[in-house]
Amino acid sequence: MTIALSTQGLCRSFGAVKGADNITVEFTAGTVVALIGTNGAGKTTFLNLVTGYLKPDSGSVLLGERNITGMEPRDITRLGVARSFQIPQLFDQLTVDENLEVAEIIARHASTASQTKELARVRALALERFGLVPQRDQLAKTLPGGARKLLDIAMAVVSHPSVLVLDEPTSGVSAEEKESVVETVIELARGLNAMTLFVEHDMEVVAQYADRVLAFFEGRIIADGTAAEVLDAPEVRRLIVGTALGADGHA
């Protein structure tokens, strides 16, 4: 099995608070991994360390066999790690189509001719799968919350990444749309053979879509395994999901 991404002894503190406490983990290519944990557990810190937004105090991050520790976000993105944000980061004065065009233009810059065609295909696919076609000429600032979230994810997907990092992809999305959004994103990511790393608070979504789950607490990984294993672990039930939840994510 190919390792897409790995970290070795990753540490990062914010004063006395440990955001990442000696995290060593490997992610297999093509898998879907959910990060769970309470607020402040270190999930977003982990994503920020992997994508270059934060520099670690110690430890390393490897993309395949390449050490990407301390690299700038743009360089990490160029190597194939794309991300979406908890609060969608869009170009508000541009249309939906132009937002995706910007993403494609930048990705195209470092691509061969055949990859360029593939980028255009993925862009069209993302637009269609995320149901953004009717809003393609609308300014991003006029989109409702759910559509903003989808556009943010679509922009990350357009670069055809090998690692897709999604920070709370369903926050701000209505309860009815939640599952279809995750299903669409994961289906698209699997189609691109991208390893997907996503932060999620909805345990039903986690149980249904994640191949593997990592539970975070105080900057450490306290459980690692399949959804059934992790959601049923006594420490996870006590500290994160509550005792009333079953291993399938249902109460």
Partner 1 sequence: MPQRMLAGLSVLVAILAAAPWWMPPWMLFIASGALAKGMAALGLMLLLRGGLVSFGHALYFGIGAYAAGLLVLSGITEFLVLAVLGTLATLVLALILGAFVSRYRGIFFGLLSMALSMVFYGLLIKLQSLGSSDGFNLGGIHLLSIPMQGTAGQVPTYLMTLVLSVLAAIGIDQFLRSRYGLLTKALRDNELRVEYLGQSVRQLVLLNYIIAAGLAGLAGVLSAVAVGHIGPEMAYWTTSGEFVFMVILGGLGHVAAAFVGAGVLSAVQAVAYAVAPNSWQFIVGASLLACIVFLPEGLWSLLKRFGRRA
**By CB under 8 A, residue 92 contacts partner 1:** yes
Shortest reach from residue 93's CB to partner 1, in Å: 5
**By CB under 8 A, residue 105 contacts partner 1:** yes
* Rg of the Cα atoms in the chain: 18
| Part in contact with partner 1 (CB under 8 A); list of ranges 15-23, 83-91, 231-239, 243-251 | 83-91
**By CB under 8 A, residue 101 contacts partner 1:** yes
- Written as one string, the DSSP assignment of 190-251 is HHTT-EEEEE---HHHHHHH-SEEEEEETTEEEEEE-HHHHHH-HHHIIIII-TT--TTS--
**By CB under 8 A, residue 51 contacts partner 1:** yes
Cα 94 from chain centroid (whole Å): 24
User: What is the residue whose two structure tokens read 């995750």?
Assistant: 182
C-beta of residue 58 within 8 angstroms of C-beta of residue 219: no
Shortest reach from residue 103's CB to partner 1, in Å: 5
**By CB under 8 A, residue 118 contacts partner 1:** no
If residue 127 lies in a helix (H) or strand (E), which one and from where to where?
helix 113-129
Task: Sketch the per residue contact string, 146 through 185, with partner 1: x for CB under 8 A, - otherwise.
Answer: ---------x---x--------------------------
**By CB under 8 A, residue 78 contacts partner 1:** yes
- Of 8, 60, 98, 172, the one binding partner 1 (CB under 8 A) is 98
Of 99 and 170, the one with the shorter C-beta distance to partner 1 is 99
Report the alpha-carbon distance of residue 193 to residue 118 in Å, rounded: 13
The residues near 251 (Cβ < 8 Å, ≥ 6 apart) are 244, 245
Sites of contact with partner 1 (CB under 8 A):
51, 72-75, 77-78, 82-83, 89-94, 98, 101-103, 105-107, 109-110, 155, 159
